Each structure stands twice: as structure tokens, then as C-alpha cells.
Amino acid sequence: MPCLLYDGKGLVKTIRFKNPSYVGDPINAIKIFNEKEVDELILIDINASKEKRKINISKIADFAGECFMPFAYGGGVKTVSEFYELYKNGVEKVIVNSLIFENPGVIKEAVAKYGSQAVVACVDFKKNLFGKKQVYSFTGHSVKYSPTDFVKYLEQDLGVGELFLQNIDAEGTWDGFDYEFVKQMVDYTSLPLIASGGAGSTDHLKKVLYESGANAAALGSMAVYSKKAMGVLINFPKRDDVIKE
């Protein structure tokens, strides 16, 4: 599934969460993904929480209005009423990240009201200075829990229905997923898991889906560029190219 990054104005693509470059208009991209028959679309406003910007429901409703597949939105969602507004306007799943740290009670309430299937937790991880994998918050600080304890907390205490596991070190690199870490997390949790960060080829996708056992793989650069370091081209691998032989 494609994962589009939005900066409040247009679509951007980052490398390791940095250096955003403009890649186009969301509505146009969503229309193309309808044609490409993607399973689901993820759109993340990467600046909303950092800029303490309120989410623009009518804008997101416009995106949802063009999205004829399940639509997951993340970025800057802070209140239960915002969850409600998003669902009402055609968003199937809300992705939370900063809210996990700021106000987890809101997540619990949203899960109780709208069901766990409608709430996805985004888990950002990277290697620390000692080469150990750690979860990082949106402010760039490492989380005191181990990745497994953090996932356990999301699953059991907050009750989210799905995990979006994002490898900061690989994001935008086209170098492949962290297959081993994804597998560890898949083995650890019973939640469906979307692997993100590093997709660069259909082989990468097959490996993370069939060897690591991820339920889905998110494509960032691969969905918006024609090739690494090349021009913008809204793009998606054919279904048959990633289906298990």
C-alpha cells in the first residue's frame, strides 16, 4: 500500500525523516492510486504535531472523497471528536503516534467507541548509538520501553487494532526493510503489522511479506518516484509481481 506524506500543503517525500521534497498534489495522486487498484492508502501529515496545527477535516474529507479504497490518516489527531469527524468523512483508520505519548487516554476512548480495527499505532524505530533498536517519539527522543514492551503496551493497555512499524534508518533509502526486526515484532504481537521504511523493489516487498510475515508493506518512495534519485512518477507495482508463487 502506498504511504503518502503530506506537509499541510502538498505531498512530500523524505529521506530518514529529513529533507522533504515536493512530489505533487494529493488529490491527483489518490486518483492515480484508484486506477492502480492499491489495497489501501495511507496519508500522513508529517508536520501537524510538530507545528501544533489543528487537523483540517474538510481537506482530509476531500482526499477521502477521491479514495475508493480504505483510507488511513495520521497526523495531529488529538481529540475523540476529531476521530469521530474523520470516520464520518470517509476515513477508515486513524493512525496515532504523538498521542501515544501525550494523551493515551484519548486512544483508549476512541478504541472503545469506534473499535480497535479503526485505530492504528505508528511505531518509529531506529538503531541507537550502540546499535540497539529503540522506539523513538515524534520529538526525536528514544522511548524508555523496549520495542516489545512498547508493542505490548499498545496492544494490551491501549487496545489498538494494528501496528504501523516504521524504520527511520531505512526510510526513503530504497535499501530494503529491516526483515529481522519486522519478523521479531510479527512473532511477538498478534496484531496485524504494516512494515514501512526501505521498500525499493518487489523483491523487498515479497521478502517482508512472506519471510518476515508482515501483513502489509508500505511504499513511500517507490510509490512517488520512478526510480531512486529520479523524477516524480506516481507509481505502483503490479499485484501479480508481489503475489506468492
Partner 1 sequence: MLLIIDYGLGNLVSVKNMFKKLGIEAVISDKINKIENASKLILPGVGSFDNGMNLIREKGLLEILNKKVLIEKTPILGICLGMQLLTKSSEEGKEKGLGWIDADTVKFNFNDKALKIPHMGWNYVQVKKENKLINSNGKHRFYFVHSYYVKCHNPSDIIATCNYGNDFTCILNHENIYGAQFHPEKSLKFGMEVLSNFSKL
Point out which span in 48-56, 84-92, 125-133, 165-173 binds partner 1 (CB under 8 A): 84-92
Cα–Cα distance measured from residue 3 to residue 92, given in angstroms and rounded to the nearest whole number: 15
Minimum CB–partner distance for residue 44 and partner 1 (Å): 19
Q: Which of residues 34-53 bind partner 1 (CB under 8 A)?
A: 34, 37, 39
- DSSP character string of 92-119: -EEEESHHHHH-HHHHHHHHHHH-GGGE
Q: Which is nearer to partner 1, 104 or 213 (CB)?
A: 213
Minimum CB–partner distance for residue 116 and partner 1 (Å): 8
Task: Write the Ramachandran bin of 115: left for phi over 0, alpha for psi from -120 to 50, otherwise beta.
Answer: left
Cα–Cα distance measured from residue 163 to residue 231, given in angstroms and rounded to the nearest whole number: 31
Identified binder of partner 1 from the candidate list 32, 61, 232, 242, rule CB under 8 A: 61
Identified binder of partner 1 from the candidate list 52, 58, 139, 190, rule CB under 8 A: 190
Q: Where are the beta strands (DSSP E) in the chain?
A: 3-6, 11-15, 18-24, 41-45, 71-74, 93-96, 119-127, 133-136, 162-167, 193-196, 216-217
Point out which span in 8-16, 52-60, 63-71, 149-157 binds partner 1 (CB under 8 A): 63-71
By CB under 8 A, tell whether 82 contacts partner 1: no
Q: How far apart are the first and last CA of the chain?
A: 20
- Contacts with partner 1: how many residues (CB under 8 A)? 20
Minimum CB–partner distance for residue 238 and partner 1 (Å): 15
By CB under 8 A, tell whether 88 contacts partner 1: yes
Enter the C-alpha cell of residue 210: 512472506
Buried b (16+ CB within 10 A) or exposed e, 207-242: bbbeebebebbbbbbbbbbeeeeeeeebbbbeeeee
Q: Which of residues 110-169 bind partner 1 (CB under 8 A)?
A: 115, 117
By CB under 8 A, tell whether 242 contacts partner 1: no
By CB under 8 A, tell whether 32 contacts partner 1: no
Enter the C-alpha cell of residue 73: 490518516
Active site residues: 124
Q: Which is nearer to partner 1, 88 or 132 (CB)?
A: 88
User: By the criterion CB under 8 A, which residues form the site for partner 1?
Assistant: 34, 37, 39, 61, 64-66, 68-71, 87-90, 92, 115, 117, 190, 192
